[in-house]
Structure 1
Amino acid sequence: MAAEEIIIEDNQLVCVLTDKPKKATSQEKNIQSIILMLNEEYGFEMKNIARDVNIVFVDPDTGKNKKQKIEVVVYKEDSEQNQEDIIRIAAVQDEKIKENDKKKGVTIALENALAALDNCDFGLWTNGNDLKYLQKEDDDFGFDFNFTDISDFPGNGETIEDIDRADRSHSRKPANDSLIKVFKRSHDYIYGNEGRKKDAFWQLLYLIFCKLYDEKRRFKCIETGESYRKKFWVGIKEKNTEEGRRAVAKRIKDIFEDLKKEGTFSDVFDGNEAIALTDKGIAFIASELAKYSFLDATVDVKGLAYETIVSNTLKQEAGQFFTPRNIVRAMVEMLNPNEKTRVLDPACGSGGFLVMVLEHVRKQIAKELYPDLEDVLLAEKFNTYEVNERVRQYAETNIYGFDFDPDLKKAARMNMVMAGDGHANIFHINSLDYPDWEDPNELNKIKASIKQSLERMADIDNNYTDDARGKFDMIFTNPPFGAKVKVEKEIADKYYLSKHSDAPEVLFIEACYNLLKPGGKMAIVLPDGILGNPNTLPVREWVLENFKILASVDLAVEAFLPQVGVQASLLFLQKKTDNDKNIARETDEDYDVFMAIAEKLGKDRRGNPIYLRDEDGAEILFTVDTKYVTTNKNNDKEVKIRREKQKMLDDDLPKIVNAYFKFLKGEKI
């Protein structure tokens, strides 16, 4: 990766196809997204893709030649790239343009262009939110064309027949922001067209889970020796007729009834849930979801897509907000859990820390099973049966989440299933009130789960009780904090630290101490007031007495903006053993602590990305070789490389993680 001397303005981006600076308009961003989609998902080579191509056709009214600009075209492979060589077109518009727009809508921008091209039968139209595919076919008399809505068009080397079969060999691996857009498009459809504003999120999740369940059936088929056939599929034109929509809806609803009874998913649902969308709505969303393989999507792609719809749905009250993914990743990487690590997030929200731990361990397992593979070829193995089975067993045995909000518990369970079936140990409980929580049923489930985990891990030292306290090797958490968050006096009084503060974040430190094993480690997000205010000195003294400080990372004020403005730090602690405490009392403690300041976190106060700049303030471009894997219709995989110029986020956290590991090795930082 090398820096390039190309100067671009703040409101510009570099085209992935041409390397030329472009104004970062809504339309331009959509063009970049479509180029990447055609390349990575559909397998068309960059050399065969072009942008801003003028096609020439004869105006039937005047008989004169006219031109029309097409934002993105794909040429036939090894052709001279003339107009007659165009085989796919994409009409890409600004987000404000609607599909029925008289000048730039589907009819004018796409149908007219398809009609003018002799050898191009497929095209798409998008404004970034809506996405329509059309197929051009001769009418019954051969004098004109019909344009038919289709749910997808063929990729490189594919025919329409290849993608119109239930036994289609593979689904596309979502690239770039495709899955986020699919989730958002589907959610908006339910919200706007189905009259289900209150439960649009849950209705979409039911369909997402049908898709996941159907993909995971292939692992069950491996175990039983059955041949796997997809049930979650939509014919290319099936959503266009009442009969077709009815057939799709029946397939999906049958899958949903099956998954509610199946072990992996049964305890995610209460059992009385129902897909309550119209047949048309089910067919529309199913056709959106069916194009992609969720199992093969990276955790970042799935996690970001999931959080996009969760954050727009579940209210961010009582101090609840998402911990940014770069902060979550840094915390997990610095403590470096492995397959033997029992992990808890006692304020798990939608499960961001737990999903990141699961993915961190997944990579370790894949590397152990496939030591000769690197980069994208190793990533291709992340969802093999062997890796998935180890990940499932790890999650089932060693990953735990507690949350006070029952909706977030459900959201976390669903998030964990998407990441790798680690949903079984997500519990609705107030961690500060453990083990006296009012729901005995939930407490009994925790006991049974802890007992099973201890037995599976042969955790003899801790096997004297099935209480969760003292059982965890690591805790990752961002507890609720702020003036709005109140802890009942009856609960607060259980804690020694309540003498000095009844703030939930203070009490959570002691609760985490109780839940950790002696020698166990924790990474916690805390407001800076705890670490600096004179009136919290007794709290700091208690922390120093009971924990060894491993590291402290000050975060820039932008860390949680625009959700909430709070100055916070990451504190990494290790619970002292009794022997550690005795030594500390008899001698003056003297050990090194890693300390860092993250001045830049890759975004500004409004949440907009910020990039690395040179001394003159210009954004720096780096030449990057992006590796990706394409799959042809025979399911053969091929590694390809796309050279592109990219801006890099100005984020100190990856550098801090690297410096921490140097610190642990005693190397010079």
Structure 2
Amino acid sequence: MNFSEAKIKFDTEYKNKNVLSRSLVTVDGKYLDNIKIKDINGNPNEEYYKWQFIFSLIASGLYSRDYIGTEIYFPKGNIKSSPIKIDAVIFSSLEWIDFYKKYREDNDQDALNRLRELAICVIEFKRNDKKIEQVFNSQIKASIKEPDANFVLGIYYDTGRLYLFKKVNNEITRYDNSKNFLSSQRILEKYQLEITDPYYLIPSFKNLIKRNSTTIINKRELKVEDLDIVHTITDENIKLALSHILRTLESVSLFNEEGYQILIQMIAIKIFDEKQSDLHGSYIRFFVDDSEILRDTLSNKDVQSFITRMQDLYSEAKRYYKNILSTSRIDWKNIRHVRVVTEIVRQFEKYSFVRSRRGDLYQLVFYNFATKFKKDENAQFLTPLPIIEFMVNIVNPRRTETVCDPCCGIGDFLSMSYVNANAKLDDRNLYGFDKDYDMTVLAQLNMLLNGDGNAVIKYVPDSGSINQKLSTEGEIVTLNNDEHRFGNWDNWFDTTELMKYDVILTNPPFGKGRSLDLSNPAHRNLAELYELYQLYVEENPKSGLDLGVVFLENAVRTIKEGGRFGIVLSNSIASNNTWTFVREWLMKNVRLVALFDLPPNVFAETGVNTTIIVAYKPSKNRLNELIENNYSVFVREIHNVGYIKKTSNRNVIFEKDYLLTVVMQFQDNFSNSIT
């Protein structure tokens, strides 16, 4: 049972009760009976929310009741000062209750000192107090200063709203570092006090004890649950780790595709190592002892011990992750390679990738590395994460549906679909295709980070998915001009049947410089596989067919009846007279649901204004009915895409600027549109 489930259990049990028969933990050192938890109007009072929170901590297994005390009194300053009452305190030892009684009954100074040393968490409760900045200044800061532990957690819980703070080296900040803007002079902005914390961020008792531990950790006896969770990509520690890796790559002249391939393979074996530990309870092997760090030569005995451990991990992981590890990119006799491997392990060894928030790892790996090695000449540009999430939320792939990206690149749309579905999608139903082998390797790793690694990612060289399709037998088949001209793709001389998908999400190449050159025979043969080519040459003497047009038709032809798609295209295709025939053809084949015009230069590398097109494919009869009834299309011009792209300590991060409220409005429209 997690915290949220425990909270629901408490509410279910006590929603019709006015009294808690006995306190769940001690109150000022004693258990109390018949505690009123409702006000005179029968509504939950502050006591209700206090015991709701404590019940949830205990029932979820985060903390044992014996380590928690409520209404704990500490003197302000010296022992003779008037006391400060803290609503609840969590201690690191069961001895706390004895020390507390000695202090309260005998004013024992030594007992008070030990009590302060054992206190690792302070909690304040309120009910519907909206002035969080006042509570922070008057109560939270005062309470969290009382304990003397190395790391103190501060919790403020107000009618279900959760705020987490921490005190480290006497500095008080938000527990989630991404909410800290310490240079600001305004309290609300400095600690982002308008933003609450999710319940899953509450650290466990074991985590707090580890934070306060002064013992030397034996890396050879760690399991996956002992590793730190990456709560957010903007956490200062993970940003610093990433920066160290980038510096090492530069220092050994591997800040290039060669170095990136090493990084990819090392992340793959780390994930394998963690999953083995999770499944079998084995010790983590992805670590490097201080004695194993390469300082001079590879012949050092300890360095060789490290190399052997990594090679063994690689060999074992290769059986599971063949696409990523089939060809080793690491030369274990190359001192530069070993130096990079050592730094990657040293920086990542303390973090769990398997147990961390997957969306943040997604950004961690790809927006800090893939952008540095993308191949502009192949028109491979990464779609910003907020745009991906926006489209996935809108098209909303469901549990049993198949999802395809015919130009998958690093697999953004597929992994986000899986992540946003809370792992309810079967990642064997996710399909991605790309003509760049390196991109398919990245996509495999992306799905390994964010899914179960079972997505179908296919390398389709040369012209990619323009003329290469997946059959229902799982084979790549090639369209040809004898059988499949002008969109006649289901005409095969044998039993071949092409795969059709429930959902297509894609950002294909488009715009000037990314067109099929119709004066080139090979390009013209490709274009002739599409019906829109036939319509294009009838009306346009130009020699170039925008690839966006090609992939738009591809989306229409490869979704099932009842399927739907979201695609990013040049704004000109959605608006210019040159492409009127494309829009007319589209309206005859699908029910156009929405157009979202994005701001200029969202895809800065292309220099093209863009539009998101969302559509679904009803039966022909239903489509004719919709056309006769003059159906409406949801159209919006987006002025702000909701993120700011920043670079900090060499790290690329996306900070949310505001929430695209148009999503909820559109989803209501969309659910009505597909009925």
- 1:447 is aligned to 475
Q: 1:400 to 1:666 in 2, by over 3 A?
A: closer
Give yes or no for contact 1:468–1:515 (8 Å, CA) kept in 2: no
Pair 1:232 & 2:267 matched: no
The correspondence of residues 168-317 of structure 1 with structure 2, limited to 5 A, is: 168=223, 169-176=225-232, 177=234, 178-193=237-252, 197-221=256-280, 227-235=281-289, 238-239=292-293, 242-260=300-318, 262-263=319-320, 265-276=321-332, 278=335, 279-307=338-366, 308-317=368-377
- 1:472 is aligned to 501
- 1:620 is aligned to none
Residue type at the aligned position of 2:261: W
The correspondence of residues 566-605 of structure 1 with structure 2, limited to 5 A, is: 566-583=608-625, 588-603=628-643
Q: 1:541 to 1:280 in 2, by over 3 A?
A: closer
Give yes or no for contact 1:500–1:536 (8 Å, CA) kept in 2: no
Residue type at the aligned position of 2:228: R
Distance 2:276 2:497 in 1: 33
Pair 1:79 & 2:144 matched: no
Q: 1:466 to 1:330 in 2, by over 3 A?
A: farther
Give yes or no for contact 1:602–1:649 (8 Å, CA) kept in 2: yes
- 2:195 is aligned to none
Shift of 1:362: 2.3
Q: TM-score, normalised by structure 2?
A: 0.58
- 1:498 is aligned to 533
Aligned with residue 400 of structure 1, among 406, 431, 451: 431
Residue type at the aligned position of 1:231: R
The correspondence of residues 45-84 of structure 1 with structure 2, limited to 5 A, is: 78-79=147-148
Pair 1:426 & 2:480 matched: no
- 2:597 is aligned to 554
Distance 1:495 1:87 in 2: 63
Structure with larger RCO (C-alpha < 8 A, sep 6+): 1
Give yes or no for contact 1:187–1:200 (8 Å, CA) kept in 2: no
Q: 1:494 to 1:198 in 2, by over 3 A?
A: closer
Give yes or no for contact 1:433–1:491 (8 Å, CA) kept in 2: no
Shift of 1:557: 1.1
Give yes or no for contact 2:566–2:614 (8 Å, CA) kept in 1: yes
Give yes or no for contact 1:470–1:514 (8 Å, CA) kept in 2: no
Distance 2:464 2:476 in 1: 19
Distance 2:630 2:350 in 1: 58
Number of equivalent positions = 436
Q: 1:237 to 1:353 in 2, by over 3 A?
A: same
Give yes or no for contact 1:179–1:301 (8 Å, CA) kept in 2: no
Distance 2:120 2:641 in 1: 34
Percent identity between the aligned chains? Answer: 23
Shift of 1:580: 2.7
SS at match of 1:526: strand
Runs of 4+ in 1 over 6 A off after TM superposition: 44-48, 430-433, 442-445
Gaps of 5+ in 2: 1-118, 124-143, 151-166, 172-207, 478-493, 517-522, 537-544, 648-653
Q: TM-score, normalised by structure 1?
A: 0.59
SS at match of 2:602: helix
Distance 1:240 1:422 in 2: 32
Aligned with residue 341 of structure 1, among 381, 401, 415: 401
Q: 1:526 to 1:188 in 2, by over 3 A?
A: same
Give yes or no for contact 1:232–1:290 (8 Å, CA) kept in 2: yes
SS at match of 1:521: strand
Distance 1:184 1:663 in 2: 44
Give yes or no for contact 1:245–1:280 (8 Å, CA) kept in 2: no
- 1:323 is aligned to 383
Distance 2:475 2:350 in 1: 42
Q: 1:582 to 1:430 in 2, by over 3 A?
A: farther
Shift of 1:180: 4.7
Residue deviations 1:342-392, cap 9 Å, x none? 0000011111101101102225x3xxxxxxxxxxxxxxxxxxxxxxxxx6x
Distance 1:46 1:558 in 2: 47
Shift of 1:235: 3.1
Residue deviations 1:38-71, cap 9 Å, x none? xxxxxx97999xxxxxxxxxxxxxxxxxxxxxxx
- 1:417 is aligned to 448
Distance 2:462 2:566 in 1: 16
- 1:157 is aligned to 212
Gaps of 5+ in 1: 1-43, 49-74, 91-152, 222-226, 366-390, 450-464, 610-646
Shift of 1:576: 3.3
- 1:663 is aligned to 669
Residue type at the aligned position of 1:542: W
